[in-house]
Structure 1
């Protein structure tokens, strides 16, 4: 099992505070069937840049090897959309998933600007980057207007849902939104966002189980395979997206 969105790097953001805590967290994930994780610290214009993340990932993997824990950490970054994003990407600041793939995690800013978002997503794709929209079921913009997510998906972006949302930990509205996005072909991968404070209640296996029961094993396998394809830099499986009917959003399940 691959988890594409985690905060596992020791002494980075919400990651473990020391190496021992890091190894405990890593072993817990392995015990639940995880073999690869992507470390995804947030970049908002001031934080960790590409080369620093690579160094943290290299050190963390050495700790795992020395402890004989069969987990591999892959480099990544969650980038909050900002006006200088394209320039920063051209300057080799931003880090796609697993360093050399075409996929990058993006988060809409709290102050949503549709024109900025559309322009950034368009220019990134011109440069060969496929945007992965991070947890839209938790963003008020998409909760208020699901058509915006439909338009983004139609233009080539892919969507990552939080496993916590699917199992209900993030709230009732967020759970219904996540399930609605799956039902309408507006979601493509599930990841945990797990950190030092939450790994003991890790939800990715539970979320996959819920998807299997709600939508069937075929959809489950597509989500799991998509995670593999992303770390390998391959094209993922995408269903034809549908608009959520007005009046039905957040109310179909």
Structure 2
């Protein structure tokens, strides 16, 4: 199993604080059945700047520490890029990279809204051969209230990544239900951990697989596992025809 979104690099963002914690996460990942992780530190976040060369350096150092401990886990570089206007220019200058240096770039929106320029930027990314991967849309309050925003992005070629902990209820029942709604409407293409540590923001991948198995069957489990492998290898994923989610506006929860 491949985890495409994880904050395992030490001392770069709000994930692992030091290499000891990174190693704890690596051991836990192996327990969860994960064989490879794309390290995706925050980039262009309010607090964090992690350009690609720095990420690659940190990945190489962590891989060496993991190998020295005999942990059977591969770490490769990526970023979780907070959407911003100059993203394409920085991609052309190799400051922004895709997941495992692929054409798939992990994009994060602010938690409470979707910037108005997002549609145009996602379109421009695709004209350059980049596939935007929208991180954890199920936790964005504007998308929860207006899921047609996400439908339009997917309809136009973006793909999405739902967090394992969202499916298991770690972020609350409303987010859990919305995550299941996204899968049912074929608006979810990847499930990843977005793990930050082993205590409060863990992997929960096995539990998420069980939820998907119970709700949607074995074929859906294979779909998400295979998509992660395709992205990891920079191959095309299979995208099913999305459907709209009819959504009543949530009142009093944000």
Please give the range of the TM-score, normalised by the shorter of the 2 chains: over 0.9
With the length of structure 2 as denominator, give the TM-score of the two structures.
Answer: 0.92
Unpaired runs of 5+ in structure 1? none
* 1:18 shift after superposition: 2.8
Q: 5 Å matches for 1:147-226?
A: 147-198=148-199, 201-226=202-227
> Could you say what secondary structure the match of 2:100 adopts?
coil
Residue 41 (structure 1) aligns with:
41
Residue 21 (structure 2) aligns with:
21
CA contact (8 A) 1:161 1:190 kept: yes
Partners of 1:213 and 1:248 in 2: CA distance = 28
Partners of 1:75 and 1:130 in 2: CA distance = 17
Aligned length: 247
With the length of structure 1 as denominator, give the TM-score of the two structures.
Answer: 0.92
Partners of 1:38 and 1:97 in 2: CA distance = 6
> Could you say what secondary structure the match of 2:224 adopts?
helix
Q: 5 Å matches for 1:230-249?
A: 230-247=231-248
Partners of 2:41 and 2:182 in 1: CA distance = 25
* 1:200 shift after superposition: 8.1
Residue 80 (structure 2) aligns with:
78
* 1:239 shift after superposition: 1.1
* 1:111 shift after superposition: 4.8
Identify which of 38, 60, 63 aligns with 1:61.
Answer: 63
Residue 104 (structure 2) aligns with:
103
* 1:39 shift after superposition: 0.6
* 1:15 shift after superposition: 3.2
* 1:247 shift after superposition: 4.8
Pair 1:191–1:156, CA change in 2 (3 A): same
Partners of 1:152 and 1:239 in 2: CA distance = 14
